[in-house]
Amino acid sequence: MNGLWALIAAFAAFAITALLGKWMIPFLHKLKYGQTIKEIGPSWHKNKQGTPTMGGIMFIIGIFIAILICVPVYYNLSLEPGIQITNYQFILVKIFAGLGMAVFYGIIGFLDDYIKVVKKRNLGLTAPQKLILQFLAAAAYLATVYSFGGSTTTIIPFVGVIDLGLWYYPIAAVLIVGLVNAVNLTDGIDGLDASVTFFAAVFFMMIAGMRGIPGVGISSAALAGACLGFLVWNFNPAKVFMGDTGSLFLGGMVCALAFAMDLPVLLIPLGLIYWIEMASVVLQVVYFKITHGKRLFKMSPIHHHFEMCGWSEVKICMVFSAITVIGGVVSVVLSLGI
């Protein structure tokens, strides 16, 4: 039954996301919610000027509906008489608190996109404004889980359960905000963020199955299906961009899945591309300041470096997805050590 409901969730999220594109893309065109391409970007990106953004709303709706329906229905149908219901309730709390956190991040991204597109302020929200809101989202999620019986423990493969005490919360908040921003940085070329996140979601689904947490598996399937549905419209040449609305939401979902299984450590191998993208930006800035104007990469984030080296957007998506698959295999192996 678990596999069936995961399939249903994936198909529902895919269908809703893909079908919404038929209506939402023309609607965004009509509102003139087009992306402004920065002058510092690759020159060939200029032909993307005006492509609708905020398309992440499509998969937010698809994922939200799929999880909202499929997860509770699965647990209601599978709950056997005499089994303690508390464990089921706590899993549902973690899943829906995580979904709420992801939606919160999506709203932050929407505000950022709205300011950029409608108010014509290309930088959107200021960095302090973003960070304050992002830490509030993480804090609200962690407080919600704690209030329903969450602990300060985490699982380290081949080591066991570790109790971090009060340090758990600042570490968790920094990890969540860091990963969310790393996913945001990964969104820079057609199809990249959605394709990388698709493979991450597939491996989360596999690991949830191995761990016997069907609700997380169903949620992961919804995320994977929605990413595919979005790629119908976002794969090169993109007809719509997800914007910060979508990329921040995806970051929130990836974190929610890892924390729901008490395995945030898996965000390192499964989120390898995200971290590489963030590291490339940090290294570029530090190197630029140290050398007084020299650049380590032709352009950062690193996907733009490879563009400047002559790689096509499709090739970058394929290579980065392959690296995510390798990280996923590592994550599965690590999960065997639990």
> Using one digit for the tens of pLDDT, what is the confidence trace for 117-163?
877 666 678 899 999 999 999 999 999 999 999 999 999 999 999 99
Whether residue 40 has pLDDT greater than 60: no
191 vs 81, higher pLDDT? 191
> Using one digit for the tens of pLDDT, what is the confidence trace for 168-181?
999 999 999 999 99
pLDDT number for residue 45: 60
Tell me the backbone φ, ψ of residue 163, rounded to 5 degrees.
-95, 115
Over pLDDT 90: what percentage of the chain? 81
pLDDT number for residue 36: 62
**Distance between CA 7 and CA 190 in Å, rounded?**
26
Question: Per the domain annotation, does 322 fall within a domain?
Answer: no
Whether residue 184 has pLDDT greater than 90: yes
Question: Per the domain annotation, does 32 fall within a domain?
Answer: yes
Question: What tokens appear for 271 in the block?
Answer: 């989120």
Question: Per the domain annotation, does 334 fall within a domain?
Answer: no
Q: Number of H helices and number of E strands within the chain?
A: 12, 2
For residue 201, count other CB atoms closer than 10 A to its CB: 28
pLDDT band at 29 (very low <50, low <70, confident <90, very high): confident
**Distance between CA 46 and CA 37 in Å, rounded?**
6
pLDDT band at 289 (very low <50, low <70, confident <90, very high): very high
| Of 310, 218, 208, 215, residue with least CA distance to 263 | 208
**Distance between CA 282 and CA 51 in Å, rounded?**
28
Question: Per the domain annotation, does 181 fall within a domain?
Answer: yes
Question: Per the domain annotation, does 8 fall within a domain?
Answer: yes
Question: Per the domain annotation, does 326 fall within a domain?
Answer: no
| Of 149, 37, 59, 158, residue with least CA distance to 103 | 59
**Distance between CA 284 and CA 304 in Å, rounded?**
12
- Please list the residues that pair with 154 across neighbouring strands: 162
Give Cα 291 distance to the centre of its chain: 34
With 0-12 CB in 10 A as exposed, 13-18 as middle and 19+ as buried, what is 291?
exposed
Question: Per the domain annotation, does 34 fall within a domain?
Answer: yes
pLDDT band at 88 (very low <50, low <70, confident <90, very high): confident
Find the mean pLDDT for residues 258-280: 97
Q: How big is the CA angle at 131 (ends 253 and 148), to the nearest 5 degrees?
A: 50
Amino acid present at 300: S
Question: Per the domain annotation, does 287 fall within a domain?
Answer: no
pLDDT number for residue 41: 57
pLDDT band at 77 (very low <50, low <70, confident <90, very high): confident
pLDDT band at 49 (very low <50, low <70, confident <90, very high): confident
- Structural domain including 168 reads 2-266
Find the mean pLDDT for residues 98-124: 88
With 0-12 CB in 10 A as exposed, 13-18 as middle and 19+ as buried, what is 97?
buried
Domain count, the chain: 1
pLDDT number for residue 134: 98
Mean pLDDT of all residues in the chain? Answer: 92
